[in-house]
Amino acid sequence: MNLAWLHLILFSLTALFALLEVDYRFRLVAVALQYMILFWVVSTSLSVGLALVKLIVGLAATILLGAAIWNMAINKTRKVPWSQQAFRLISGGMMVGLAFSFQPSTAAWLPVEPLYLRAGIILSGCGILMNGFSRHPLIATLGLLEVFSGFELVFAFMVNSVLMTGLLALVTLGLAAIGAYLTIAHQSSGFR
């Protein structure tokens, strides 16, 4: 089995898990796992040092968001209607199908291995779905980080630049800092 298929399966499973999971902590773990897989993939394209920057920044972003919800009152697991979960699963499945149907037309103008292009589309698409399904600032930030990690996956195969890696790291940490601030403000306002 090709290693790219394993990466695609792992990215798809973590993206769908983050989309379907109700508990914020497990969603953070899923996004952290995505950054670990991103390090594994990008270390084959870029130097290990630049891939390590992506890993450290991604983990720092998830730790920052985890610190923002550290004192959040975690009640019993919220009951989510099965229809909502089924809709999320069908939407995520459609995103996977879209990634496989998009690939032949985009491969002509993007010099990226097709399986990694599919993985980037799946990550970005599930992140957009995550943003659309929730109004909570933490979930919106995790969705944006997932969209951005899908972009980073595709972009790493096209550009091998220290400056761009630094700029992407700055944007990732900025998103996490703003998301942590909005999450804390959301908690202190008393809304759910």
Q: Please tell me the pTM assigned to this model.
A: 0.88
State which residues form the domain around 131: 3-188
Q: Determine the pLDDT at residue 75.
A: 53
Q: Mean pLDDT over residues 120-145, rounded?
A: 91
Enumerate residues 6+ apart whose C-beta is below 8 A from 16. 89, 92, 96, 126
Q: Kindly report, residue by residue over 40-51, the tens digit of the pLDDT.
A: 988 887 788 888
Helices and strands counted in the chain (H then E): 7, 0
